[in-house]
């Protein structure tokens, strides 16, 4: 990429996008941000794909503040954010434990008429869970169900983890049982979260562990 600049060859949005994709895979957010700035300086159009790759780099690098900055920049450059963009920013918020910001972004998606997908909710619930905000997590889940978004294992894992962090053993067990009602797969993450939630009741934790073994789930 730098050889092109030295040779006087003008980089196109496609070249920038490919370079940003490489940055995203490695979480090199500083370089990704520099490239987006460079595109603006050279009047190279940055589309939603370009910003999406830069946001992926921020997500992998755990830079929620930079991700939010890029999201705001998109609006300033009239690049419409889609569900993938918002979900990536929410994922960065999850890593940073920014649950209040995550809730604000969900409201923003509604105002902008951007549909919320299951992974959008998973990221937001995870952000709540990092801070033990299990009530907010359950409220999001109810909102998701009301919006007819199909529930899956990932959302229940996020909810059970939120309850575990918030020391809500009873709620965690209720959610664990609900998964069976909806015939959802319980994986190692599910069992790990619910067993951790029951760690003060060793008999119950042992029973869950044996249930996991009986279900042929690898620990």
Give residue-wise pLDDT tens across range 88-100: 999 999 988 899 9
- For residue 9, pLDDT over 60 is answered with no
Question: If you write DSSP's letter for every residue of 54-97 in order, what string do you get?
Answer: HHHHHHHTT-HHHHHHHHHHHHHTTPPP-HHHHHHHHHHHHHHT
What the block records as the tokens of 42 is 């050279």
What the block records as the tokens of 155 is 């959302």
Cα–Cα distance, 170 to 204 (Å, whole number) = 12
Cα–Cα distance, 120 to 168 (Å, whole number) = 24
Region of poorest pLDDT, from 59-63, 81-85, 140-144, 204-208: 204-208
Model confidence pLDDT, tens digit, residues 18-60: 899 999 998 899 999 999 999 989 889 899 999 999 999 999 9
Residue at token pair 């069992």: 191
Give the three-state DSSP class for 7: coil
Cα–Cα distance, 105 to 86 (Å, whole number) = 8
Model confidence pLDDT, tens digit, residues 145-177: 999 999 999 999 999 999 999 999 999 999 999
Helix/strand/coil (H/E/C) assignment for every residue in 16-37: HHHHHHHHHHHCCHHHHHHHHH
Cα–Cα distance, 86 to 119 (Å, whole number) = 10
Query: How far is CA 86 from each of CA 39, 105, 122, 214, rounded to the nearest angstrom?
Result: 22, 8, 12, 39
Question: Is pTM, for the whole model, over 0.85?
Answer: yes
Torsion 192-196-198-201 (CA) sign: positive
Tell me, what's the pLDDT at 215?
A: 80
Tell me, what's the pLDDT at 86?
A: 97
Contacts of 147 (CB under 8 A, 6+ apart): 116
């Amino acid at each position: 990429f730098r050889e092109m600049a030295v040779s006087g060859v003008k980089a196109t949005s496609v070249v920038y996008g490919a370079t940003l994709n490489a940055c995203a895979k490695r979480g090199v957010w500083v370089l990704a941000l520099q490239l987006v700035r460079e595109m603006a300086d050279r009047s190279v159009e940055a589309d939603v794909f370009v910003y999406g790759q830069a946001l992926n780099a921020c997500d992998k690098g755990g830079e929620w503040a930079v991700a939010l900055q890029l999201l705001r920049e998109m609006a300033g450059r009239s690049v419409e954010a889609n569900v993938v963009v918002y979900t990536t920013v929410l994922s960065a918020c999850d890593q940073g434990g920014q649950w209040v910001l995550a809730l604000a972004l969900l409201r923003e998606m509604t105002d902008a008429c951007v549909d919320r997908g299951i992974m959008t909710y998973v990221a937001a619930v995870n952000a709540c869970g990092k801070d033990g905000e299990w009530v907010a997590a359950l409220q999001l889940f109810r909102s998701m169900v009301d919006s007819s978004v199909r529930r899956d294992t990932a959302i229940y894992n996020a909810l059970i983890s939120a309850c575990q962090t918030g020391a809500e053993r009873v709620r965690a067990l209720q959610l664990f049982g609900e998964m069976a009602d909806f015939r959802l797969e319980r994986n190692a993450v599910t069992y790990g979260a619910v067993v951790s939630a029951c760690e003060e009741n060793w008999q119950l934790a042992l029973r869950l562990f044996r249930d996991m073994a009986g279900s042929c789930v690898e620990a």
